[in-house]
Amino acid sequence: MPLSTQSQADIDQYILIASLDNARNLSNILKAISFRDHAIFNATQNGLKVTVEDSKCLQANAFIQVDIFQEYIIKEDAVGFQVNLTVLLDCLTIFGGSTVPGVCTALRMCYNGYGYPLTLFLEEGGVVTVCKINTQEPEEPIDFDFCSTNVTNKVILQSDSLKEAFSELDMTSEVLQITMSPSHPYFRLSTFGNSGNAHYDYPKDSDMMELFQCTKIQTNRYKMSLLKPSTKALALSCKVSTKTSGSFDKGEQLDPAGATSLTSDKQASADPLSDVLTYQ
């Protein structure tokens, strides 16, 4: 039956209900962080957070604010569960990926508590498909502690320029080196691959640079294998914010068009450096 005609009794049995007019909006966000099979869902009064981790050294977070949902009901302070992200995306893609112009598939996600499956109601043209995905007890994700008061350098630039840089840098390099400096080269990306060394510089007065705040020189290296999963998130963004702190923490924030948010934290296992990408 159409989602709008579901009985109140059906709705009352769930502790979490989240509805979207277009299921593709959710699937696009989840695809950007789908580098592992399982994801942790945490719902609060502020919205839904989806976390994906890889070996405690790479973490991606998708934040979907409550205002994005057409319907959002949560009956507890916090609701958490783990689900197979691959299966969830398959359901959203197969049953919620209409290719007909102007036709959207409505989605209602429902969860009834510990031990119960995540239930998806997908409606298109009056036809409702019901998918039930088994849930698991969520694991405790690693806490990347980024203190904003310790930020020493911060740069915000347009994402198109970073996409261009990624296409020109030598991706056979094992690391990506990022240099931030109050003087030349200001903001530099460097690789050291089979074709030799490559550098991509951004002048502080570049049209691509929206903010440049740098108080000291810092050069950090990050494993390319940990950065590559973030290219999916980069494709959705319109701005990139990179920041470093006195403790050698580094964060990257990417703002896409739209109100949904996505955060990805990446940490090289050999050193204490880490990245954060946030979509708002």
Counting Cβ atoms within 10 Å, is residue 7 exposed (0-12), middle (13-18) or buried (19+)? exposed
Q: Is the pLDDT of residue 80 over 50?
A: yes
Q: Residue 262: which pLDDT band, with cuts at 50, 70 and 90?
A: very low
Question: Which is more confident, 260 or 198?
Answer: 198
Which segment of 5-19, 32-46, 66-80 scores lowest on mean pLDDT?
5-19
Which residues does 164 contact at the CB level (< 8 Å), separation at least 6? Answer: none
User: How far is the C-alpha of 158 from the C-alpha of 163, rounded, in Å?
Assistant: 9
What's the confidence (pLDDT) of residue 273? 36
Domain 8-136 listed as CATH 3.70.10.10: yes
Which segment of 20-24, 82-86, 108-112, 246-250 scores lowest on mean pLDDT?
246-250
Question: Which is more confident, 122 or 256?
Answer: 122
What's the confidence (pLDDT) of residue 191? 92
Q: Is the pLDDT of residue 205 over 50?
A: yes
**Treating both helix axes as pointing N-terminal to C-terminal, what angle do 85-96 and 23-31 enclose, rounded to 10 degrees?**
140
Domain 151-279 listed as CATH 3.70.10.10: yes
Q: Spell out the domain ranges in the chain.
A: 8-136, 151-279
What's the confidence (pLDDT) of residue 169? 81
What's the confidence (pLDDT) of residue 148? 61
What's the confidence (pLDDT) of residue 10? 66
Average pLDDT over residues 129-137: 94
Question: Which is more confident, 215 or 273?
Answer: 215
Q: Is the pLDDT of residue 102 over 70?
A: yes
**Closest by CA position to 35, among listed 10, 16, 61, 14:** 61
